[in-house]
Amino acid sequence: MLFLVSPPLSIYWTDSPLARLQIIKDHPNVIEELEWKAVEEPHDPHRDLDLALRHGIPVRSGIVVDAAPILDGMRPGQLRQSLSDMNASQARLHESKGFQQAEDLIEQAAPGWKAHGEHLDREVDRATQASIAEAEEEAAQWLKQERQPLLMDHWRSVGGWI
């Protein structure tokens, strides 16, 4: 999978079998044959451009970059959103009268049920926070490489702003 960052700041992707960075480097005209689709899921185009300026290759319509840096850059936000959605869903569930009644009934039959559930909730939260921290570290690794002057010049030459 490849991403294409085009001025002014549009992001496209392709998963064509020809979508390999080395193929694009060796045969630049192949890019014209690829079917590019606009990125639909939430992303940060400024982060994507920053990554492309570090890890991409210049093409006529912008900069092509392998999926790994872009997807790794998206992962912390996706995990944060999943955690937020899970917490909101869990809060709604815990507020429902039916859930509370079921919990009380199970607690009577199996003392410690509620405490165990609360413990599990904390463990899931802790594990998710650890996954977010790991994802942030992986994303940060891609930003350690300096922006390439050649790519910055190319981006400006195709009408982009840095």
pLDDT digits (tens, 9 = 90+) for 85-134: 999 999 999 999 999 999 999 999 999 999 999 999 999 999 999 999 99
Q: How far apart are CA 86 and CA 31, in angstroms?
A: 40
Query: Which residues, in sequence order, are bridge partners of residue 11?
Result: 5
Q: Which of 25-29, 44-48, 108-112 has the lowest mean pLDDT?
A: 25-29
pLDDT at position 18: 62
Q: How far apart are CA 152 and CA 49, in angstroms?
A: 10
Average pLDDT over residues 132-157: 97
Average pLDDT over residues 66-70: 94
Per DSSP, the residues of 80-101 read HHHHHHHHHHHHHHHHSHHHHH
pTM of the model: 0.81
- Position with higher pLDDT, 33 vs 61: 61
pLDDT at position 32: 76
| Cα 12 to the center of its chain, rounded Å | 14
Query: Which residues, in sequence order, are bridge partners of residue 90?
Result: none
